[in-house]
Amino acid sequence: MSKSAKHPETQCIHAGDTIDPLTGAVMPAIYPSSTYKQEAFGVWGDYAYSRNANPTRAALERCVAELEGGTNAFAFASGMAASSAVLELLPAGSHVVASRGMYGGSFRLFNRVRRHSQGLETDFVDCSDLAAVEAAIKPDTKLLWLESPVNPTLQVVDIEALAAIGHKLGVLVVVDNTFATPLGQQPLLLGADIVMHSCTKWMGGHSDTLGGILVVKEEKLAAELQLVSNATGGVLSPFESYLLLRGIKTLALRLNQHQSNCFAIARWLEKHPRVQEVRYPGLESHPQHELAKRQMNHFGAVVTFLIDGNKDDVAILFNSLEIFSIAEGLGGVESMIGHPPTMSHNSMLPEERKFLGIPDSMIRLSPGIENSNDLIADLEQAFARI
């Protein structure tokens, strides 16, 4: 059995061969050292200065590169720092085509910061419409930024078809794979050039680590990102790298429980009279369910739904919950509930949210790994109050 043919549960434990070669420690040491003694004048070892490379960070990078089927990975202090590093690859004044309804923070980075500092012009396109994406790519388009499933609408887009369009027209194809995790889908194998993750979510999995990572499969891009990472310096700390390695060990186990809780909750919500619509890629009613089955190994761990009610009802529902925490965040072992219009997507104007399909009645759940009966009972008693 080749390494890549191993099952996800096994890969999560062994990817990247992270056993410490010096001591045999089964978990890599946390190397806080910022610098490294040279053996002699002009003799450089593997490590020179920790902004450039650090052994603990390198262990994490090897692990995630292998999980994604890539060759090189670059870990950053947050998901946004990783995304920001991708944008450093683009010349000033570039045109970008991005997934409509992307993570709110990415929208803010592209449209508020980089528009101003780098002259980036971004068109937000419905990427389930392949012809619309092709039509949006212009001669000065340098980047196609995809996200699937999209946050918070959970639209699934065809990464393989979109990567083919991007490459035909000569643009760099990047996929924010946070919602799927490397176990859910491997965009590099579907043709993408760069995979980006917010490791803060399911990869870390314990709501105690902020981190981001980029993975590539091609030498030239790896060299360019190594330059950007070292030159701009937003790298992940050794301690955070260790926490992420620890989190990844149980990623497969956690995702199984997250997914089964999502199914149980989504099916329960579908039958509730105060719920207008439920979105989960694993449901037959999801508009891209067939694509999700083909493209993904699991359906992710977020359920989005629309209630029959107003913002006051949302507030009562949220304040009545006992197990779900009202929190800006996803992917922890504890269940969280969020209201995208006033939380994750609050930096957008109301008309921008309307354009992206995020109404005030939209609620996003990140079910944890508790018992699904308890989670449903919690929702049930909270719904009874609205």
* Residues tagged active-site: 51, 103, 176, 201
79 binds ligand PLP (CB under 6 A): yes
Cis-peptide into 281, omega within 30 deg:
no
Q: Specify the stretch interacting with ligand PLP by CB under 6 A; choose among 54-62, 74-82, 134-142, 276-284.
A: 74-82
Name residue, tokens 């340098």.
Answer: 142
Shorter beta-carbon distance to ligand PLP: residue 50 or 200: 200
157 binds ligand PLP (CB under 6 A): no
CA distance 211 to 199: 5
Q: Minimum Å distance from CB 327 to ligand PLP? A: 12
CA distance 252 to 245: 13
What contacts 179, CB < 8 A, 6 or more positions away? 147, 148, 149, 150, 151, 154, 201, 300, 302
Q: Minimum Å distance from CB 357 to ligand PLP? A: 16
80 binds ligand PLP (CB under 6 A): yes
CA distance 67 to 14: 10
At residue 277, what is the residue type? Answer: E
Contact residue for ligand PLP among 69, 105, 234, 357 (CB under 6 A): 105
Shorter beta-carbon distance to ligand PLP: residue 201 or 254: 201
Give the number of other CB atoms < 10 A from CB of residue 23.
Answer: 9
Contact residue for ligand PLP among 178, 209, 237, 361 (CB under 6 A): 178
Q: CA 36, 39, 40 angle in degrees (round to 5)?
A: 120
**Nearest CA among 359, 325, 330 for reference residue 105:** 330
Contact residue for ligand PLP among 200, 237, 241, 259 (CB under 6 A): 200
CA distance 207 to 372: 20
Q: Minimum Å distance from CB 148 to ligand PLP? A: 10
Shorter beta-carbon distance to ligand PLP: residue 106 or 372: 106
Shorter beta-carbon distance to ligand PLP: residue 85 or 275: 85
Listing DSSP states for 110-163 in one string gives IIIIIHHHH--EEEEE-TT-HHHHHHH--TTEEEEEEESSPTTT-----HHHHH
- Positions in 301-330 near ligand PLP (CB under 6 A): 330
Q: Minimum Å distance from CB 260 to ligand PLP? A: 21
Q: Minimum Å distance from CB 198 to ligand PLP? A: 3
Contact residue for ligand PLP among 70, 212, 309, 368 (CB under 6 A): 212
202 binds ligand PLP (CB under 6 A): no
Q: Minimum Å distance from CB 209 to ligand PLP? A: 9
**Nearest CA among 292, 208, 201 for reference residue 254:** 201
Task: List Cα–Cα distances, 17 to 6, 34, 74, 230, 356, in angstroms.
Answer: 14, 23, 17, 24, 42
**First CA to last CA distance, the chain:** 55
Q: Specify the stretch interacting with ligand PLP by CB under 6 A; choose among 49-57, 110-118, 126-134, 196-204.
A: 196-204
Q: Minimum Å distance from CB 361 to ligand PLP? A: 21
210 binds ligand PLP (CB under 6 A): yes
3-state SS assignment for residue 366: strand
Shorter beta-carbon distance to ligand PLP: residue 55 or 212: 212
Nearest-CB residue to ligand PLP? 79
Contact residue for ligand PLP among 107, 179, 280, 324 (CB under 6 A): 179
CA distance 186 to 82: 18
Q: Minimum Å distance from CB 86 to ligand PLP? A: 11
176 binds ligand PLP (CB under 6 A): yes
- Residue 385 and residue 320 in contact, taking contact as beta carbons nearer than 8 Å: yes
φ, ψ for residue 262 (rounded to 5)?
-60, -45
Q: Specify the stretch interacting with ligand PLP by CB under 6 A; choose among 76-84, 108-116, 270-278, 360-368.
A: 76-84
Residues 132-151: x/- map of binding to ligand PLP (CB under 6 A)?
A: ---------------x---x
CA distance 98 to 237: 30
Q: What are the residues binding ligand PLP (CB under 6 A)?
A: 78-80, 103, 105-106, 147, 151, 176, 178-179, 198, 200-201, 210, 212, 330
